[in-house]
Amino acid sequence: MKGIRKLYLVLVLLVVSTLQMMAQQKITGRVIDDDGFAVSYASVQYKGHKIAVSSDGEGKFTIEKKPGLMLTVSALSYKTATVKVDEKTSFLEIKLKDDSHKLGEVVVKSKKGRYKRKDNPAVELMRRVIAAKKKSDLSNYDYYQYDKYQKITLALNDITKEQMEGKFFSKRQYLLDQVELSPYNGKLTLPVSIDETVSQHVYRKDPKSEKDIIKGQQSNGIGQVIQTGEILNTAIKDVFTDVDIYDDYVRLLQYPFPSPLGRTAISFYHYYIEDTVYVNRDLCYHLQFIPANSQDFGFRGELYVLADSTLHVKKCNLYMPHNSAVNWVKDMKIEQEYTKLDNGEWVLTKDDMIAEMHMNKLLQDLLVVRNTRITDYAFDPLPKMLFKGKAKVRHDMDAMNRDEAYWNKYRQVGLTKSESSMDSFIHRMENSKGFKYIIFGVKALMENYVEIGSGGKDGRKSLFDLGPINTFLSNNYVDGVRLRLAARTMAALNPHFFWDGYGAYGTKSHNWYYGHLFTYSLNKKKNSPFEFPMRKFVFEIGHDITSPSDDNLLHNKDNFFMTIRATTQDQMYLYQRQKFSFVYETDWGLRFDAGMRWQSNRTVGNLHYFKVNTGEEVKKIRTTEASVGIDYNPGVTYVNTKQQRLPINLDSPELTLRHSMGLDGFMGGQYQSNLTTLGIYKRQWLGSFGYVDFNIVGKMQWNKVPFTMLVQPPVNLSIFEQEATISMMKDWEFLSDRQLFWSVAWDMNGKLLNRIPLIKKLKWREYVAVKGVWGQLTDKNNPVKNTSDDVIFKFPNNSYTFGNTPYWEVVAGVHNIFKFFGIDYVRRINYLNHANVDKWGIRMGFLMSF
């Protein structure tokens, strides 16, 4: 018995020692290119033995040691390398040679040749995988729901030893303490913002409804210091949104990338079968794919498809191609994993994204990390109350006020040391020497406002703002140099009552001007009254100088850059205005507004009002107008800057209907009028060919009115091109009482230029647009046919009516120059015989996009 025990003990020790030796038999290594740079996410495998791993973002990998076998290392756009493993092998540095010019070649069943889709096993397999999507679509169920936790971190990336030892870091211990080694890319990073969200997603098939209910949300970091810091979180969530490879297109970086499982995938991507491997005990086909043109907006990556009847994806890795024309993104990886439920369905449970951003050599690189975990899938019937309302996103009452115990319970991805100490980091930063001067400069530069008071619950938020700064100095024909001082109150002073005002002086005209907005918001605001959704009463009073084209500018007419005109704007008028209005926006994209306006206009510059019947000059006219409007923009999301709110994406269609009515004899109004406006906007994505924007606006003036109340085209006299305006026309050039404007603008996303050698390295993008406007002037408003009428005025000098053809204008340009600048050539096609018009012009724009 004792001998048996000894033998048993010896066997146990042998097994343990063998297991220990096996555990130690690992090979580590690094994959690099000819220049010594890391090759991220290369495939490292023992072909034919179902053992494979991928290198990480630094090219590092670890794989089992199999002496005598050949280790194959491959990456898209590189030549494959093969290394024999022996007993002494413990570390390998494998250098891959560039092979980007041979992307058209592929190995299929050991046969080399030009890539072909016909009789290609990889393509045939992917056709079956795409066809199987319908069976696994959760929308086949009457109901389903799941819980989602998401964490988004923004960090300064690739902090160097030289930076940490430099004066700026060494004098600020709070920065050194915040630096940590990122577990995602192995680089030193400095986290500056973290956003966490817990939500419930619910779906109902009939009647169809789908909603996200935010259960908890909190943001910490730099957004607490800069009031518009919430732009970071809002923009990052939209730019790096959730990815569903089972959709036809994956919306990422505000572009629709063709999904490797989409309906256009077979024609867009090249697929290669690598091997069959086990992924967590499930046998899978391992495929790699890359865009047919590596500079198109698409992914490269790998799929692990279950080798069973479901053909469902078990795991996928998506990367940004090395030569992609995408701006700012230096490297990106999306890693997803699917899990089998008890009912047999395969569902997404893990979705991680790591993106390294590089702006330029002057600015620090950024790291964006999005961790998403999806749990508790269920398919039971759901109560009707969950689907109440049309808003797609709804917040629980206490969503923004969850305590730490709540987050400890629902947080499914742990915080790093620096993420968990974000509050302490921000507090130390705010109390550091010189911080106020640094943040003052940053805010003035980024926000265009200077904060002159602080308060609120945390003492950080501004009470008063001085600005916009770029409106303090401007220029126009009547005033010459114009000086302006503006300020406003913020929500920290009162979250419901707001004031926004300015005073201005024209050095040439010696006129003083002013404008004031008094706002009462029905819903409490964080910072500004224009935050979505707006539900407010506004009273406006002002006295200033303007022209019709000023209403078509993207920014304030006193913005210094907007006053740089392509042509002289000399026919202007002074207005004295009082206006009362109400605006109400729903959470789901419907906006309603109504208002009353009292305004008198006095001619200045070279504008004159002459009665058509007597020739008498009228110096001033007065109008009283009531207006009502409806705007439907489903799915729109906004970011709030100090100056205004901006739609973060333009994918949502927009329909606008508005009517204003002039009241003759009411509170000084001199004219009866009815002006109706209908506008439609739609963006149509064309896959890798970019997108086309359609703008159509129709206007009709129903009554007999002076020419100042007729319809004018959307004239833009600034040097900046805007797709919904006309650039080569002058104020008052065309007058009508029925008018239709249209614009078709195509951003080709570099589809042509990215195929030209050398040019493609610049990442320029083509832009073309065709614009037209056509109108009619009925007899009742024609001064030539109503020479005895007391209402109608003579048209200004060089004013015309439309002939039998529309006005046409074409635009051809190159955008994305230096990744933020665009130059456009604008050509006027017809009506060239009009006085003082240019046939062509050069326009520009600052257009930052991915």
> Does any domain span residue 496?
yes
How many structural domains does the chain have? Answer: 3
The answer to whether residues 708 and 836 belong to one domain is yes
Alpha-carbon 814 to chain mean position: 21
CATH classification of the domain holding 50: 2.60.40.1120
The answer on 452 and 412 residing in a single domain is no
**Helix, strand, coil % (nearest 5) of the chain?**
15, 45, 40
392 and 521 housed in the same domain: no
Q: What is the domain-level CATH number for residue 559?
A: 2.40.160.50
647: preceding bond cis by omega (within 30 degrees): no
Looking at the fold, whether 171 and 75 belong to one and the same domain comes out as no
The answer to whether the peptide bond before residue 207 is cis (omega within 30 degrees of 0) is yes
The reply to whether 393 and 490 lie within a common domain is no
Return the pLDDT at 848. 66
pLDDT of residue 11: 34
Q: Residue 576 has what pLDDT?
A: 96
User: CB–CB of 699/765 below 8 Å?
Assistant: no
- Tell me which amino acid residue 439 is: I
Which regions of the chain are under pLDDT 50?
1-24, 100-112, 229
Alpha-carbon span 31 to 34, nearest angstrom: 10
Indicate if 367 and 495 belong to the same structural domain: no
Give domain status of residue 288, yes or no.
no
In a domain, 161, yes or no: yes
Residue 559: name the closest of 550, 568, 572 by CA.
Answer: 550
Please tell me the distance from the alpha carbon of residue 318 to that of residue 288, in angstroms, as a whole number. Answer: 10
Q: Do 345 and 412 fall within a single domain?
A: yes
**Shared domain check, 580 and 642:** yes
Whether 499 is in a domain gets the answer: yes
User: Do residues 833 and 732 both lie within one domain?
Assistant: yes
> In terms of domains, do 420 and 455 share one?
no
Cα–Cα distance between 340 and 42 in angstroms, integer?
28
CA 616-620-623 angle, 5° bins: 120
Q: Which of 50, 76, 102 is the last residue of a domain?
A: 102
Q: Which domain covers residue 827, as residue numbers?
A: 448-846
Looking at the domain assignment, is residue 380 inside a domain?
yes
The reply to whether 715 and 787 lie within a common domain is: yes
Q: Two tokens at 96?
A: 């891959």
Same domain, 423 and 461: no
Q: Please answer whether residues 698 and 737 qualify as being in contact, where contact means their C-beta atoms are separated by less than 8 angstroms.
A: no
Q: What is the pLDDT of residue 319?
A: 87
- Please report whether residue 209 resides in a domain: yes
Question: C-alpha distances in angstroms, 805 versus 774, 775, 831?
Answer: 7, 9, 9
Cα–Cα distance for residue pair 321/75, rounded to 1 Å: 11
Tell me whether the omega of the peptide bond preceding residue 533 falls within 30 degrees of 0, making it cis.
Answer: yes
| Pick from 334, 244, 319, 246: nearest CA to 288 | 319
CA of 842: how far to CAs of 679, 749, 824, in Å?
28, 21, 6
> What is the C-alpha radius of gyration for the chain, rounded to an integer number of angstroms?
32
H/E segment holding residue 176:
helix 173-178
Look at residue 698 and tell me if it is in a domain: yes
pLDDT of residue 448: 81
Which of 361, 396, 429 is the C-terminal boundary of a domain?
Answer: 429
Among candidate residues 102, 126, 146, the one where a domain is terminated: 102
155 Cβ contact list (under 8 Å, min separation 6): 182, 189, 190, 191, 192, 366, 367, 368, 369
304 lies in a domain? no
Position 88: which residue type? K
